[in-house]
Chains A and B, each alone.
Chain A
């Protein structure tokens, strides 16, 4: 066992922190919340130059050949900085499934484009029930000659309004088992019949309603096997949940640090509020949430990287971190008082993101049910 970062991970985390501190100030974060596109293309290009956009893809497709655990190390820093933009959508929801299940042609075409920052991807999963379960997938893909025609409405699709490609989760067959007959397609976002409506969300991130009306997709754009989508989707949800956990742990850590600093500086009753035992104990409890979240994230990410079964570990991580982060940021508000309640203060950025993160790819209840199944209940 070696729980220290490798030299490469150390470098990655350090350079990412410095880069983002420099290039992603909170003024930019706020600006992007208001910006319809939601990311600065210049920064996106620089991230491509740093190799971040291709980090976990094989080198033969112009990727960096890094592990999922390395990606987690990087995304922790992105969460710390509240980095806006379609990184998770493009790299985790778009790139990783292509790298895992794509045909040679799909990989050769899209992975280098992602790595170079020339294609933005996302995945459309959720529909009207707003749940990550098989039964709620109603969007149909009907065979029509050499093509498929996809119709349906997808909700909460991250970054769909700027995406070049959308991996669309569809139903190609209806049987008594809702987990059968699910198929994934790579859909060119400029295809006729696609429209998006941008939502205004609590965290200011960009999520969309995506409507598909008989969108024609060639057979060769099927990702993985016909009808085999549910198994893939479970895997993808694990990646995405852990990637989101990484962002949340980074945010969690940052909130801990700014709140500890504030408690040392803020004077009331003639002394720093951090000298009051109740504040000390609040912070001590917050530190338990932060530090336990991080090691739990790493454990799951390591297992995932090694290709070991990790369904339980991922759900333990997302279930725990979803609530631990909320506890931390809630308590941080209590310690900050009125200043933290202002729009100008950084804390509110994290508070809103903590809730959005909780809801993304399964909240604690969703993951507790998976843990219950893993217990054989």
Chain B
């Protein structure tokens, strides 16, 4: 057993660190405090163009889809893909688009034609993707989805509604989960997945404001929307396989949350070292030392769990259970950390970044709000516990 990092990985990490410095210097404003990973914060007017620029630069470097096969512009390296993501997330660099993960799906289920059509623009950092899964009556019970896709002679016709589709109003493509067979014997059957153009006639988008104040969610109404047959991803009525795969490749979600939290944590530690209260730095207060150390331990433990998951993935092992464990842990850590940060900042914690009195760029307040989503998105912590308890994990009876 060893936890060694290879020379190649070390060298690539250095390259990525240089890239991060380049982006911090040339693209991002001075004193950058970072943003959460994911498309939500692209709703900030000042962040959107920065994200686009970084996405483009990643494409120019050939760093989008590093885990993809070489023939599709990748380097066949899970390790490098993860090193890149870890650094970008830790520094809070915007721009890594959900297109990467959707590219993974297209490579797994797409036809040769689809791969040739959809993958190169992603690899170049030119297109943005969104995901259309949830519906008003479909949250955790995702196989209950209703959005109807009816096969006609020359196309599929969509009617129905999706909700909580983050960033679809900026996206060039959306991977949408639909019902193609309403009479299927099981509700998990009869589902099909499509890659759709959100600007198609008949689609109406309505933005929904999240509790962070960002208008990142969309409600999406489909009214006789015609989707070309060649946009079907995977087999008709076999969308369950695609959705299971989509959940499986979200397996580093916990680590994503943790690396993001690590940045906020380091900023908070710095704040405690620099802030004087009653003639001594906050960092000398035993209660604060204790609580920060507790957080540091929980973050480190989560990283260890994540390292194991990445290693398991590299060995082709099934990681459903450890991924669920790490996601639950990561969300809890991020939520506890943001609460601790709010308490340490005291009344200052209430202010947003626009106030001249805001501390740490108002980011702790943002995280306190945004971290609520981390135990919900990508499968709630309760669904994760169900999975751990079930046949892939503890094998408890249903």
Contacts and interface: CB of A to CB of B under 8 A. Distances in A.
B278 interface: no
A375 interface: yes
A268 interface: no
Contacts of A295: 304-305, 307-308
B11 interface: no
Contacts of B269: 375-377
Contact of A1 (B5, B328, B389, B397): B5
A303 B5 CA distance: 12
Given A284-B394, A371-B293, A299 B3 contact: yes
A291 B297 contact: no
B322 A291 contact: yes
A338 interface: no
A14 interface: no
B393 interface: yes
Contact of B301 (A287, A296, A302, A367): A296
A277 interface: yes
Given A272-B397, A302-B3, A320-B297, A292 B325 contact: yes
A375 B3 contact: no
B305 to A, nearest CB: 5
Contacts of A6: 1
Contacts of B283: 376-377
Contact of B289 (A264, A271, A283, A369): A369
B396 A274 contact: yes
B296 A302 contact: no
B355 interface: no
B396 A275 contact: yes
A372 B393 contact: no
Contacts of A3: 1, 3, 307-308, 311-312
Interface string B298-315: 101110110110011011
Nearest to A3: B311
B329 A280 contact: no
Interface string A276-301: 01011101110110011001101100
Contact of B273 (A285, A287, A313, A377): A377
Nearest to A299: B304
B257 interface: no
A69 interface: yes
B181 to A, nearest CB: 30
Contacts, number: 150
B311 A284 contact: no
A5 B2 CA distance: 9
Interface in B1-24: 1-5
A121 interface: no
Interface stretch (B31-39, B125-133, B378-386): B378-386
A375 B293 CA distance: 8
A319 interface: yes
A341 to B, nearest CB: 23
A140 interface: no
A65 B289 CA distance: 40
B293 A280 contact: no
B336 interface: no
Contacts of A374: 296
A377 B285 CA distance: 9
Nearest to A318: B297
Given A275-B398, A295-B308, A284 B393 contact: yes
A369 B329 contact: no
A276 to B, nearest CB: 9
A149 B256 CA distance: 59
A301 to B, nearest CB: 9
Nearest to B289: A372
A104 interface: no
Contacts of A292: 301-302, 304-305, 325, 329
Contacts of A299: 3, 304, 307
B364 interface: no
B294 interface: yes
B300 A280 contact: no
Contact of B396 (A1, A263, A306, A365): A263
A302 B5 CA distance: 13
Contacts of B393: 284, 287
A281 B389 contact: yes
Nearest to B329: A288
Contacts of A5: 1
A352 B304 CA distance: 28
**B1, B273, B322, B396 — which one has the most chain A CB atoms within 10 A of its CB?**
B1
A272 B292 CA distance: 41
A281 B389 CA distance: 7
A3 B290 CA distance: 31
**B283, B296, B302, B386 — which one has the most chain A CB atoms within 10 A of its CB?**
B296
Nearest to B79: A1
A162 B314 CA distance: 49
A369 B394 CA distance: 35
A260 interface: yes
**A3, A302, A369 — which one has the most chain B CB atoms within 10 A of its CB?**
A3
A368 interface: yes
Interface string A244-270: 000000000000000010011000000
A3 B311 CA distance: 7
The list of the 9 closest CB pairs from A to B, nearest first, reads A280-B389, A284-B385, A368-B293, A284-B388, A274-B396, A372-B289, A377-B283, A371-B293, A372-B293
Given A260-B394, A319-B297, 10 more contacts: A2-B1, A2-B311, A280-B394, A288-B328, A288-B329, A315-B297, A368-B294, A372-B290, A372-B292, A377-B269
19 contacts: A1-B4, A2-B311, A3-B1, A4-B1, A271-B397, A277-B386, A280-B385, A280-B386, A281-B385, A287-B321, A291-B305, A292-B302, A292-B329, A295-B308, A298-B1, A320-B301, A371-B296, A371-B297, A375-B296
Interface of B: 1-5, 269, 272-273, 283-284, 288-290, 292-294, 296-298, 300-302, 304-305, 307-308, 311-312, 314-315, 321-322, 324-325, 328-329, 382, 384-386, 388-389, 393-398
